[in-house]
Amino acid sequence: MQPIKKIKGFQDITWQDAIKYNFLEEKARNVFSRYGFSEMRIPVLEKTELFSRTIGDDTDIVQKEMFTFPDKKGRSLTMRPEATAGVARAYIENKIYSQERISKFYTIGPMFRYERPQKGRMRQFHQVNAELFGTESPQADAEIINMMWTYFTEIGIQGLNLEINSLGCPECRPNYKNRLQEAIAGINTDNLCPDCKNRSHTNPMRLFDCKNPECKQYLQNFPLPMDFLCRNCQNHFDKVLNLLSITGINYSINKMLVRGLDYYQKTTFELTSDKVGAQSAIAGGGRYDGLIQQLGGPETPAIGFACGLERIMLLLQEIERPILDFYLVLLDEKGTENGHRLAQRLREQGFTGNVSYHTGSAKSQLREANKQNARKCILLGEEELQNNTVQVKDMTDGNQKQVSEEQLCDILQN
């Protein structure tokens, strides 16, 4: 019979990688809780409309990259391609705004995008997200950026740089958009790539997301949102930068950073590391003050960021197989029952270990213990049972001695 294979772009996570995911997730929980964030778990499946209304109908995500299919009643459902839309929906649906003025959430979990699979980019990937609702204060921008920075510092990613920009607000953006439209009207849009030609009508700011070198040439001469900020936006941006300087964040202003989602305004940012190569963000986010209202909730300013774990995984050192405190070698049948009693006692006391599933040749069992990365081997047979002792072998120096069960715990502790 033909074995069944997994779906293209999906991956099996075996222990070598599961250890890394656990490390990244535990670190996120640890760091984010220090900044007053608590976890929110939202469904993987949502109504398609949620994403088309928030991310934007003419974005690459919505147009090309969503896992969308009808359910049995013909309703269109989508596997979440990102977390913010779902968290925003949950925030409104659970009326969290009526319970607290400021809300800070993080989510950890799989996201799904129908992209061409490549290294570090799978169709099911994993993200850590943080969202802060309820304040316009530039302090919130600085704080969430600080939290992101601390997270990456503590997982050991070096060469960090924050790229930051301001996209303006509903007050100053219309003026900017007009100027941009004028600039686009002044060029022959046939020279742009098909995507950009399209965007130049629907959402011209998205042109800045294009990686095509020819498009980029035109963009060099286009007006930038940063140069058209209203006084409120400029003030906000200056305060964010000031707070970032005070807390030692290494930032550079990137006036062309717009990010591919419709809902961003004011502050947007990306975190890069020179370890993954230029132009390659390991995290990014921004302010989305209009989103909650746009989804039918009350006017609620908000800011958030996301980071993909697979990109970070590429930067992590290999993590060694976890060490076992003990491996129980069973010298004969008599040792088996007593061995399981002893192993149970040791595990209850917090030691990690395995028991050999076969008796007989100590040599082959010791080889197995070595393979499993055990620090100490406990050898147990009829003889040991009779004089109420066990043999302990130190796997690093090979020393072996006979001890009582009581002494055993002390030896394993060291």
Binding range to Zn ion, per CB under 5 A, among 66-74, 117-125, 162-170, 301-309: 162-170
Segment 227-256, which members bind Zn ion (CB under 5 A)? 230, 233
Print the binding letters for residues 169-198 with Zn ion: x by CB under 5 A, - otherwise. Answer: x-xx--------------------x--x--
Binding range to Zn ion, per CB under 5 A, among 18-26, 223-231, 282-290, 320-328: 223-231
Nearer to Zn ion, 168 or 335 (CB): 168
- Residue 281 CB, shortest distance to Zn ion, in Å, is 19
Binding range to Zn ion, per CB under 5 A, among 211-219, 253-261, 284-292, 331-339: 211-219
Asked if 215 touches Zn ion (CB under 5 A), the answer is yes
Binding-site size, Zn ion (CB under 5 A): 11
Nearer to Zn ion, 90 or 210 (CB): 210
Binding range to Zn ion, per CB under 5 A, among 161-169, 242-250, 284-292, 342-350: 161-169
- Residue 198 CB, shortest distance to Zn ion, in Å, is 9
- Residue 215 CB, shortest distance to Zn ion, in Å, is 3
Binding range to Zn ion, per CB under 5 A, among 9-17, 87-95, 213-221, 396-404: 213-221
- 107 half-sphere exposure, CB direction, 13 A CA radius: 26
- Residue 171 CB, shortest distance to Zn ion, in Å, is 5
Nearer to Zn ion, 262 or 310 (CB): 262
Binding range to Zn ion, per CB under 5 A, among 97-105, 127-135, 203-211, 306-314: 203-211
- Residue 222 CB, shortest distance to Zn ion, in Å, is 12
For the chain, report the end-to-end CA distance as a whole number of angstroms.
51
- Residue 33 CB, shortest distance to Zn ion, in Å, is 33
- Residue 233 CB, shortest distance to Zn ion, in Å, is 3
Nearer to Zn ion, 230 or 403 (CB): 230
- Which residue, among 350, 393, 395, has the nearest Cα to 372 in the 3D structure? 395
Print the binding letters for residues 16-35 with Zn ion: x by CB under 5 A, - otherwise. Answer: --------------------
- Residue 21 CB, shortest distance to Zn ion, in Å, is 35
Residues that bind Zn ion in the complex, under the rule CB under 5 A: 168-169, 171-172, 193, 196, 210, 212, 215, 230, 233
